[in-house]
């Protein structure tokens, strides 16, 4: 058994506890799995988390208070070494948190109905313990379901994203380094071609790399697009028209693959200047911004068939001078700090 197969086995108690919504088992699994000094980074408004105790008390306990029947359902579980590097073994998880939203959370009024929230989570293991975690939650997705929308209208479609169409997102087959490397190389080549695009070429990076009916599952605030034309014009165009000096830090990020799945994390994953119209529906601010993203791709017959993108939308708005939580408070009359 490879180290990557072992690492996926190590997270089994955590996955079981979160799927069953057992708070006692969830807390125990976190403390068993995470090193006491693990480096933990979440999106806005949580930011840096001081180890497993802080992760439980500041992040998960309040969420459970708002959604007592919370459960987590993964549609992707994969693992592999950091591609192109000599060290770093990672596990990637993607799925949805589901629960009945009965009490306020982060100032969001309860929907008093079941809600879902997509999450992407990357864990770095060393000697059987998680020593680093990066995670993003689609908090705006909960705002939308609660009937509060303090952000600009999105251009893509909003929906609960499905898992990989081949049904193999939770990888149980033994780790195959050759197949993993081949999948990562396909995504690497695509992203480098994508970097060459500009406002006049919104489709650059799609042809020859993406399936004609590819799905780009974006976070709430961007939405989902299907096919080259929609991905180019509903997603890529606003980035290319609204941002200049837009650089994706591929060489500094972490890529890892498992069979036909590829993961990428960058903290930040890119930098840009907000210099043009159209980006998130906001007038150009001239501000220099960073971008956090945790992404998954599924490769099929040498092409990208599906892509799950998670961007820290709340942090992007924050950097552009828009306090989404303050806007939400103005709509609801409730303000609650993370």
117/245 same-domain check: no
Do 95 and 31 share a structural domain?
Answer: yes
Q: What is the mean pLDDT of the chain?
A: 92
Question: Per-residue pLDDT for 275 more than 90?
Answer: no
Task: Determine what percent of the chain is predicted with pLDDT higher than 70.
Answer: 98
Residue 24 has pLDDT above 90, yes or no: yes
pLDDT in tens, 221-242: 999 999 999 999 888 888 888 8
| Closest to 157 measured CA to CA, from 217, 115, 213, 75 | 217
Determine the structural domain holding residue 96 and report its residue range.
Answer: 3-145
Q: What is the pLDDT of residue 320?
A: 92
Residue 94, in any domain of the structure: yes
Of the listed ranges 16-25, 151-160, 291-300, the one predicted with least confidence: 151-160
**pLDDT for 337:** 46
Q: Are residues 185 and 137 in the same domain?
A: no
User: Is 237 inside a domain boundary?
Assistant: yes
For the residues of 63-129, what is the DSSP string, one character each? HHHH-TT-EEEEEEEEEEEPTTSSS-EEEEEEEEEEEE--S-BTTBPP-SSEEEEEEEEEEEEETTE
236 part of a folded domain: yes
Instruction: Place 338 in a pLDDT band, splitting at 50, 70 and 90.
Output: very low
Q: What percent of the chain has pLDDT over 90?
A: 75
Q: Would 204 be classed as within a structural domain? A: yes
**Are 264 and 255 within 8 A, CB to CB?**
yes
Closest CA to 205 of 213, 216, 197: 197
Identify the weakest region by mean pLDDT among 91-100, 216-225, 247-256.
247-256
pLDDT for position 328: 93
Ramachandran class of 214: left when φ > 0, alpha when ψ lies in -120 to 50, beta otherwise: beta
Q: Do 192 and 122 reside in the same domain of the chain?
A: no
According to the model, what pLDDT value does residue 27 have?
96
Tokens 């208070």 belong to residue:
65
| Category of 88 on φ-ψ map: left (φ > 0), alpha (ψ -120 to 50) or beta | left
Mean pLDDT, range 248-267, rounded to an integer:
91
On the 0-12 / 13-18 / 19+ scale of CB atoms within 10 A, 127 is exposed
107 and 197 share one domain: no
- Asked if residue 214 lies in contact with residue 305, where contact means CB atoms within 8 angstroms, the answer is yes
Looking at residue 204, what DSSP letter applies? Answer: T
pLDDT at 86: 64
User: Lowest mean pLDDT: which of 56-65, 147-156, 269-278?
Assistant: 269-278
Cα gap 89→79, rounded to integer Å? 8
Q: Give the ranges where 129-272 is alpha helix by DSSP (H).
A: 139-145, 177-194, 227-230, 237-242
Higher pLDDT, 281 or 330: 330
In the chain, the number of structural domains is 2
Q: Which of 69, 71, 67, 49 is nearest to 59 (CA)?
A: 49
First to last CA, the chain: 41
Per-residue confidence (pLDDT) for residue 104, from 0 to 100: 96
Do 248 and 298 fall within a single domain? yes
* Shared-domain flag, residues 52 and 183: no
Query: What is the Cβ-side half-sphere exposure of residue 90, based on CA atoms within 13 angstroms?
Result: 26
Residue 200 scores a pLDDT above 80: no
Residue 183 near residue 260 (C-beta atoms within 8 A): yes
Tokens (6 digits) for 243: 């941002």
Domain CATH number, residue 261:
3.10.450.50
Give the pLDDT confidence score for residue 238 in this predicted structure. 86
Last residue of a domain, one of 96, 122, 145: 145
């Amino acid at each position: 058994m490879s180290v990557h197969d072992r690492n996926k086995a190590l997270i089994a108690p955590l996955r079981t506890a979160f799927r069953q919504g057992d708070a006692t088992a969830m807390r125990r699994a976190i403390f068993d799995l995470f090193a006491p000094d693990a480096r933990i980074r979440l999106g806005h408004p949580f930011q840096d988390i001081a180890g497993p105790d802080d992760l439980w008390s500041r992040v998960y306990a309040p969420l459970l208070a708002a959604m007592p029947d919370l459960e987590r359902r993964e549609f992707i579980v994969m693992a592999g070494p950091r591609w192109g590097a000599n060290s770093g073994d990672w596990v990637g998880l993607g799925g949805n948190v589901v629960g009945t939203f009965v009490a306020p959370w982060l100032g969001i009024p309860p929907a008093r109905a079941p809600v879902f929230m997509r999450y992407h989570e990357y864990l770095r293991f060393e000697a059987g313990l998680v020593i680093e975690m990066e995670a993003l939650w689609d908090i705006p997705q909960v705002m939308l379901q609660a009937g509060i929308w303090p952000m600009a209208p999105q251009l893509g479609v909003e929906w609960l994203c499905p898992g990989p169409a081949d049904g193999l997102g939770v990888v149980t087959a033994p780790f195959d380094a050759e197949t993993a490397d081949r999948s990562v190389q396909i995504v690497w080549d695509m992203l480098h071609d994508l970097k060459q695009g500009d406002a006049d070429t919104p489709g650059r990076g799609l042809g020859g790399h993406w399936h004609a009916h590819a799905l780009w599952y974006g976070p709430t605030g961007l939405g989902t697009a299907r096919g080259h034309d929609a991905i180019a014009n509903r997603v890529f165009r606003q980035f290319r028209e609204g941002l200049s000096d837009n650089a994706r830090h591929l060489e500094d990020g972490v890529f890892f693959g498992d069979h036909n799945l590829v993961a990428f994390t960058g903290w930040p994953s890119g930098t840009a200047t907000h210099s043009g119209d159209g980006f998130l529906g906001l007038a150009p601010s001239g501000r220099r911004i960073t971008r956090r993203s945790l992404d998954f791709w599924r490769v099929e017959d040498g092409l990208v068939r599906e892509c799950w993108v998670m961007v820290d939308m709340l942090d992007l708005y924050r950097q552009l001078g828009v306090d989404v939580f303050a806007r939400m408070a103005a709509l609801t009359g409730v303000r609650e700090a993370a």
